[in-house]
Amino acid sequence: MIAIIDSGGANIASVRFALERLGVDSVLTADPAVISAAERVILPGVGAAPVAMAQLARAGLVECIRGLTQPVLGICLGMQLLFERSEEGDTPLLGLVGGTCGAFDPGMGLTVPHMGWNRLLPQGEGRHPLLLGVEDGAHVYFVHSYAAPVSADTAASCSYGVDFTALVARGNFMGAQFHPERSGPVGARILGNFLALPAGGKG
């Protein structure tokens, strides 16, 4: 069973539809027991980091998420929440991946938010399992104003004025800054690769 954490994000419905197109059922939940028992977990999110972290804290989900051992995929803001801190409101995050998410600088001549299709560039030695069957430079869809820097945990980067982490992976925690559920066949392949990872959960 796939648990989608009910974080109040506006992209939840589109994530569920994307999973349905892949023939997979999911449950939308904020119940720590259901999330812990799931084979795989998706943390979606659109909006502001301070609001999202406050909502997770109110639901008693911060320690629940930190303790998960099954594959976890954060999407958009959900990916950023995996990091240590966000410059947005100087907000402490889940701390599962090292680094601070910072804002794009409009002073560089950039339109903010970064919105539209951009290229995925695999990083590191070997291709992460999420990228199996995905061509170098494949285009995916982004909508975001904050981004994480490239680090040793970056599985794929993207460039928008500066290079930033488009796909992160540290142990069982993974995150996509882009929206795989809105990225056509490439996004569907990445979601399919996530669903093919060995399942976990305490159920």
* CB proximity list for 158: less than 8 A, separation 6 or greater: 118, 119, 120, 121, 142, 164, 166, 177, 178
Residue type, 85: R
DSSP 71: -
Contact yes or no for 128/122 (Cβ under 8 A) = yes
Name the active-site residue from 64, 76, 101, 158: 76
Contact yes or no for 104/118 (Cβ under 8 A) = no
Task: Give yes or no: 181 in active site.
Answer: yes
Task: Give yes or no: 179 in active site.
Answer: yes
Go through the chain and tell me how many residues it has: 203
Task: Give yes or no: 76 in active site.
Answer: yes
Return the bridge partners of 146, or none. Answer: 103
Name the active-site residue from 101, 114, 158, 181: 181
Which residue matches tokens 């170098």?
136
Q: Which residues are catalytic?
A: 76, 179, 181
